[in-house]
Structure 1
Amino acid sequence: MRLLKIHIKKYKQLNDFTINFKSIERSVGKDPFRFLIGRNGVGKTSLLEAMGLIFTCIMQDETPGFYFEMMYSIELDGVTVKIEVQPNGDILQLSQRGIPGNAHEIDTESRLQVHVVDSTGMKTRLDLRKRPFSEWKEYHPRRIIGYASGPTNIFEDVLLHSPEESIKSDIYDARHGSPAEQDYDLQMLEIEHSLINLHRLYDDASYLYIDGETSKYVLLCLSAAIPSLYSEKEPKLDKRYIALREKLFDMIGGVKPIGVTFVVDEEKLKEYIESHQVPPRFQLLVKWMSTQRELPKDQAICHVWNISRDKTNTSNAIFNQSIKKERVAFFSISGHQNDEYRCQGFGFDINPFDLLTMLLVAKREGFLLDAHLMFKHKGLEQLIHEDALSDGEYLWVGRLGLVLLSRANGNGDVLFLFDEPDVHLNESWNEQFVEMLHQLSENDKGKTKDEFIIATHSTLLLTDADPDQLYLLERSRIEPTHVAPMSISTFAANRAEISKRIFGVDSPIGQYSMRLLKEKFNSEDKRELVDLMKKVGPGYYRFRIHTQIEKLEQSKDNEEGGKENITSDEED
């Protein structure tokens, strides 16, 4: 998919805001990486949230609560079509233009107005009364994935809670809030449709939000499964995926996975088994966790152990304690030859991204209570688990590993919303971030079919950004947030110039060190300047101190030379 245009009437800092996305064909890399840049508070995160709200709502036949217009493209069977979506307002629009509307011809019931523009430019409006937009799956992004670093983001609400609450509200309105004379069949149809959307929301996991806590599930799924490629004779493992996975793991010390542990709610497990009503998304997990003994290696499920335990949960009240029954299972990981390690007990056909969505849905439903990965670092024998990794290692694997998992899960059309992915990463990793993004997102034909919207302040990331991939957001007291023209190209540019021209940085060093240096620059004390130069790192300001020392030495030599000449003249 490719985003083409978004207009937002009013959402947080965004007021009558429009962004037109440029064609990637003009960029150097021709990859769909869109960088939102600008100072704090201009609305970069708000724009990411608004995008998530719009898509999660329209895919459930809802509106986000603010007026919008959006245009994006989808490739169907090698042909690109454009989708235009906005809230439905035919009657209002026609009355404002003085055109009488025919109620039989105009859709006044649907919340959305959707047009499809084919490759010839012919524009057709979808009849959402016959088939709601939630059922036009071919015109949807296959998935919306959000990853945020800041404490004020609401991605979890946008991608998970907001769609659920909106659908539940529709069900309530249909049951209790509608007029008594409403047609009963129509009322039941609306409720049925809302329930279908609700089940789809739970089961399809079309919207995923990953944060620091759930990053470990990305690490676990990378370690426990490999996508298979089906040839004419038999399935085989994806060698490209294996090589990229190993490259990621080598950057965090060379991870060698040993096994994974799942902890589930035993009462819910028992309920699922007895009722035979297991949610489709985690049927496999229920199957794995319901086996209480180790099975032979040639069978589909091989536990090293699977036990039940009672665990005490203590609330804030000192005397309020409860016993929670948990089922714990350990699955070993084998196949380390040629780095083809995976959990044999999960079966050959399980896709690592499907495994991730299953675990996240099971966690959201309260069935999966915890999960752990046991591993060793290459060349070391100590067995450790994921808590031994640093925040930066966690987030590096979480962000880029998510891209690799998505690449192995289909034909693209995933919308990634990354809010400051450079946070917690060292400069070496930030230097490699965009390059790794290219490698991990490209398919076998060297193309990236997913869409990436990345909000960042990192000048290092921006040196890898083509001018046509950049969108500078600005606002002032008299002008709302808007996309401003770029004054420079950041591609392969000097980072100090990027900081100065885009983020308004006046100095290449911090204000504290600058103040101290200014106090010393005009010093006449050579010893003081020599001591200062020992503390200052390489660069312009060290050179400037060195120059000042040379001037003092030259001045002293001149004075001493002058005195010698005067003495000589007097003697003569």
Structure 2
Amino acid sequence: MRLLGLALTGEYKGLRDQTFDFTQSEDGVIALIGLNGSGKSQLLELVAESFAYLERAVREEFRARRHMPFKVELIYSALDESANTPQPVTIGVEIALDGSVSAMLQREDDWEPVTTEFIPLPRHVVGYASGLNENLQRAFLKNALQYFDVMQIRANRRKKLEGLTVDEAEVDRIEEHYFLRHRGVFEPIYRDDPIQLNERDTPLPTLKFIDYDCAALLLASLSFQPRTFFDRVFPDIAHRYPHKLVIRYDLRNAPIAPDTSKDILQLIRIVGPHSVQGLCPRTNDQEYEIHELDYLAADIVIDLESAGLRGLFENTYLGEPIRFFEKLYKIQLLGIRAWQSLDKKELRKDDFFGNVKKPLKTKLPLSITELKLQSATGELVDFDDLSDGESQLIQTLGAAYLFGRNSLFLFDEPDTHLNPEWRTNFHKHLKSAMAGTDSAQAFVTTHSPFLISSLKKENVFLVEKNDNHITSMAPVPHETYGASFEVLIKQYFGLTTAISQTAVDDITHQLHSAGLSKAEQRQWIEQHLGESMEKAYLLKRLED
């Protein structure tokens, strides 16, 4: 997945009537730089909102209830995974002011129209924000809610049909109601005259946001990789080897789908029933017949050092951690039931661009309650006790590896908690995690000259806001690859010097206001200032 361009007609926050062109970018990582408040994050939000709306329009079981108050045109390349052998195609999509969607596909040199349901989407659009940017998360929550609504509709139908096998007329009425109201959720099977419905497969939403709960699940999904994997993807993290994992599920208040219990049962069969610690009374005969679980709420305690366990997971999930992640993530999404009703009402509106807060993890039907990590020397720490920088690296690099092919990553300041050495290596490690995934692309907002120095200028875009509070974006004019950090912060971050303003003010006072002779000025500089280009310049000026 590569976003090649986006054109906005109308206004989204500080963005207005602009075209964003990324066709000249070659690296899979694109950096958006600029001062605080310049609008970098708003561009990520617009990309997320556009793909979220597109998914709602493409998927028959999802609903686009209100159109967005602006027009968006997207051009992107993606793998068309509907073919037997996935083929790269270029897609041009227009989301009109009235909400209608039209698209063209380019195969070789020809463009051809394609109906909405056949528009190739990215496999994943993955979001991450280091701070409290709930605005970026909003687009992801909208589509997560759409998925939950489908699960709720399916659960409501099953509940209404329970015990109605004798009353055929009522069964027919219920089936016809759901067929007419929710054609994208169900498909009919005709047996003589009455309609009988099957539940269609409902894939997870394309958009996935890496918040705290999802981050723990992400690392848990990677826990069955060999140690060499963690050495390659997380080389800077001392406690990088998963040692113990506790998965808690609670299905007592969730809209359970038939495969929900099956996925949990599959996990229990891998680790063994001795690993299950019940959190409620055992299921009765009727509950067990439906779910085949001894408990509707329990902890599954997994010793990740257990002999043969890795092989069992590889065989069950075909050696693909993403399969394990998705089976558990779709259970986690059932926790949307606990969201505030007002938030859910707003998130169902395509033109809603306000703030929402996701509830705490304690209300989730599935969560990671304990994840022990081990160092090479055997020292153990909890995942929750990692530093902010360690956690940030695990989330971003782990996501880059897990979702990989045909994915678009929207990372809002993923390097804020990293020390200078880790910032210097961040691009290298991100590319390593994305190794072998030429079809993936990451947009990264950053204030770090370390990342910029790792990228060619075609992959660095300067975002600025004018006096009318309108945001503009343009490629940087000078080569950034290999440029010194001092040069970059002066060119693009509004600094005239590479030392602190406190030191600048003190130097100005001592050299211009204190009445010191040149000899005294030299003595003060040598005694009070650390080594810097500024110190060398001042001494040279006094000498001249």
Q: Structure 2-normalised TM-score? A: 0.73
Which among 53, 77, 100 is matched to residue 73 of structure 1? Answer: 77
The 10-residue stretch of structure 1 (451-460 or 112-121) with the greater mean CA deviation from structure 2: 112-121
> 1:196–1:421: structure 2 CA closer, same or farther, 3 Å change rule?
farther
Greater relative CO, 1 or 2 (CA 8 Å, sep 6+): 2
Separation in 1 of the partners of 2:479 and 2:126? 29
Count of aligned pairs between the two proteins: 451
> 1:486–1:60: structure 2 CA closer, same or farther, 3 Å change rule?
same
Which among 265, 269, 272 is matched to residue 302 of structure 1? Answer: 272
Separation in 2 of the partners of 1:399 and 1:195? 33
Partner of 1:332: 303
Partner of 1:520: 510
Deviation, structure 1 residue 51: 0.8
- Deviations for 1:129-148, whole angstroms, at most 9, x for unmatched residues? xxxx2x426x1111110011
Structure 1 gaps of 5+ residues are: 25-29, 93-109, 128-132, 173-184, 227-241, 290-298, 312-323, 552-572
In structure 2, give the amino acid aligned to 1:302.
G
In structure 2, give the amino acid aligned to 1:283.
K
Contact 1:261–1:372 under 8 Å retained in 2: yes
User: Are 1:33 and 2:29 matched, yes or no?
Assistant: yes
Partner of 2:316: 349
Let me know the Cα RMSD of the aligned residues. 3.7
Which among 384, 387, 390 is matched to residue 390 of structure 1? Answer: 387
Partner of 2:349: none
Partner of 2:107: 118
In structure 1, give the amino acid aligned to 2:38.
V
Partner of 1:374: 372
> 1:479–1:261: structure 2 CA closer, same or farther, 3 Å change rule?
closer
Contact 1:302–1:345 under 8 Å retained in 2: no
Partner of 1:15: 16
> 1:36–1:521: structure 2 CA closer, same or farther, 3 Å change rule?
same
In structure 1, give the amino acid aligned to 2:482.
A
Separation in 2 of the partners of 1:155 and 1:342? 38
Bigger radius of gyration: 1
Deviation, structure 1 residue 189: 6.9
- Deviations for 1:280-315, whole angstroms, at most 9, x for unmatched residues? 5x73224435xxxxxxxxx7332553212379xxxx
Contact 1:533–1:545 under 8 Å retained in 2: no
Deviation, structure 1 residue 260: 0.6
The 10-residue stretch of structure 1 (54-63 or 393-402) with the greater mean CA deviation from structure 2: 54-63
Deviation, structure 1 residue 434: 0.8
Separation in 2 of the partners of 1:250 and 1:335? 24
Contact 1:308–1:327 under 8 Å retained in 2: yes
What percentage of residue pairs aligned between the two structures are identical?
21
Partner of 1:508: 498
SS at match of 1:348: helix
Matches of residues 435-454 of structure 1 in structure 2 within 5 Å? 435-443=428-436, 448-454=438-444
- Deviations for 1:372-415, whole angstroms, at most 9, x for unmatched residues? 212322213x44321221111111111011111123xxxx2111
SS at match of 1:372: strand
User: Are 1:536 and 2:529 matched, yes or no?
Assistant: yes
Partner of 1:224: 224
Separation in 2 of the partners of 1:520 and 1:342? 68
User: Are 1:283 and 2:262 matched, yes or no?
Assistant: yes
Partner of 2:93: 85
Partner of 1:145: 126
SS at match of 2:371: strand
> 1:451–1:536: structure 2 CA closer, same or farther, 3 Å change rule?
same
Structure 2 gaps of 5+ residues are: 58-63, 154-174, 188-198, 282-294, 336-364
Separation in 1 of the partners of 2:523 and 2:541? 10
User: Are 1:160 and 2:141 matched, yes or no?
Assistant: yes
Which among 27, 48, 59 is matched to residue 52 of structure 1? Answer: 48
Separation in 1 of the partners of 2:104 and 2:177? 27
> 1:13–1:283: structure 2 CA closer, same or farther, 3 Å change rule?
farther
The 10-residue stretch of structure 1 (531-540 or 12-21) with the greater mean CA deviation from structure 2: 531-540
SS at match of 2:133: coil
Contact 1:217–1:356 under 8 Å retained in 2: yes
Separation in 2 of the partners of 1:55 and 1:201? 21
Separation in 1 of the partners of 2:18 and 2:134? 20
Separation in 1 of the partners of 2:251 and 2:3? 44
Separation in 2 of the partners of 1:168 and 1:112? 23
Contact 1:45–1:419 under 8 Å retained in 2: yes
- Deviations for 1:421-469, whole angstroms, at most 9, x for unmatched residues? 11111111111111112222121xxx62112111111111000111111
